[in-house]
Amino acid sequence: SAVISQKPSRDICQRGTSLTIQCQVDSQVTMMFWYRQQPGQSLTLIATANQGSEATYESGFVIDKFPISRPNLTFSTLTVSNMSPEDSSIYLCSVASRDFNEKLFFGSGTQLSVL
């Protein structure tokens, strides 16, 4: 299994600012994903973080708003830019690897509140 450390666990931010969320895995993984879980709703895939290249974004999510980095096989960051109250959500890092027999592991999440 994978141990995922996600930081910060929670934050309260002002409108118009940006927050970078870090995801560190204790082993090399093939795939890393970022999800958003808005209050009372399901998980929505934001993007797939690709090692050494630009992330692949899902419909409705753009790089200018959610820039993602993945410099190596164990680390990724998600930035929520120019935040508004609508960005208040839980952001989850997730990893998958053939070594993990196809299931995804999730970090504990970052609970973001934008005032």
Partner 1 sequence: AQSVAQPEDQVNVAEGNPLTVKCTYSVSGNPYLFWYVQYPNRGLQFLLKYITGDNLVKGSYGFEAEFNKSQTSFHLKKPSALVSDSALYFCAVRDIQAGTALIFGKGTTLSVSS
Q: Is 95 in the site for partner 1 (CB under 8 A)?
A: no
Q: Is 48 in the site for partner 1 (CB under 8 A)?
A: yes
Q: Is 45 in the site for partner 1 (CB under 8 A)?
A: yes
Q: Is 102 in the site for partner 1 (CB under 8 A)?
A: yes
Report the residue from 74, 76, 77, 94 that binds partner 1 according to the rule CB under 8 A. Answer: 94
Q: Is 41 in the site for partner 1 (CB under 8 A)?
A: yes
What is the contact mask toward partner 1 in residues 49 to 88, using x (rule: CB under 8 A)?
----------------------------------------
105-110 contacts at long range (C-beta below 8 A, 24 or more positions apart): 105/1, 105/2, 105/4, 106/4, 106/35, 107/4, 107/5, 107/6, 107/23, 108/4, 108/6, 108/9, 109/6, 109/9, 109/37, 110/6, 110/7, 110/8, 110/9, 110/10, 110/11, 110/21
Residues that bind partner 1 (CB under 8 A): 31, 33, 35, 41-45, 48, 92, 94, 96, 102-109
